[in-house]
Copies of this chain bind each other. A is one copy, B any other.
Amino acid sequence: MFTHTHALQYEAKPDGPDANYARRLQEVLGGQWGEMTVATQYLLQGWNCRLPGKYKDMLLAIGTEELAHVEILVTLIDRLLDHQPLKPDSADHSKESAAAYGQSNPQHAIVNGGGAYFRDSMGLPWSGGYVTASGNLMADFHYNATAEMMGRLQVSRLYNMTDDKGVKDTLRFLIARDHYHQMQWLAAAEELKADGLDNIPVPAAFPLDEEPPEFAYAFLDASDGPDAANGRWANGPALDGTDNQLTARPIAANADAPILPPGDPRLYGTPP
Contact = CB atoms under 8 A, between A and B. Distances in A.
A5 B268 contact: no
A172 B107 CA distance: 21
Given A50-B114, A54-B228, A184-B219, 15 more contacts: A2-B3, A3-B64, A36-B128, A51-B270, A61-B219, A65-B222, A95-B95, A113-B269, A115-B135, A122-B122, A172-B211, A175-B211, A182-B201, A183-B201, A191-B233
A114 B135 contact: yes
Interface string A193-215: 00001101111011010111101
Interface string A233-260: 1000011100000100001111111111
Contact of A203 (B67, B156, B184, B192): B156
A1 B128 contact: no
Considering residues A48, A145, A185, A215, which has the most beta carbons from chain B within 10 angstroms of its beta carbon?
A48
Count of this chain's copies in the oligomeric assembly: 6
A184 B133 contact: no
Contact of A121 (B47, B95, B107, B124): B107
Contact of A124 (B87, B125, B191): B125
A142 B142 contact: yes
A261 B152 CA distance: 24
A131 B74 CA distance: 14
A192 B94 CA distance: 40
Contact of A251 (B3, B105, B112): B3
A246 B58 CA distance: 14
A9 B1 contact: yes
8 contacts: A24-B110, A61-B219, A86-B160, A135-B267, A142-B145, A173-B215, A182-B239, A183-B233
Interface string A211-232: 1110111111111111111111
Considering residues A44, A176, A178, which has the most beta carbons from chain B within 10 angstroms of its beta carbon?
A176
A142 B49 CA distance: 23
Considering residues A104, A112, A116, which has the most beta carbons from chain B within 10 angstroms of its beta carbon?
A112
B145 A131 contact: no
A57 B179 contact: no
A3 B223 contact: yes
Nearest to A185: B233
Interface in A57-97: 57-58, 60-65, 67-68, 71, 74-75, 78-79, 82-84, 86-89, 91-92, 94-97
A206 B122 CA distance: 25
A142 B251 CA distance: 24
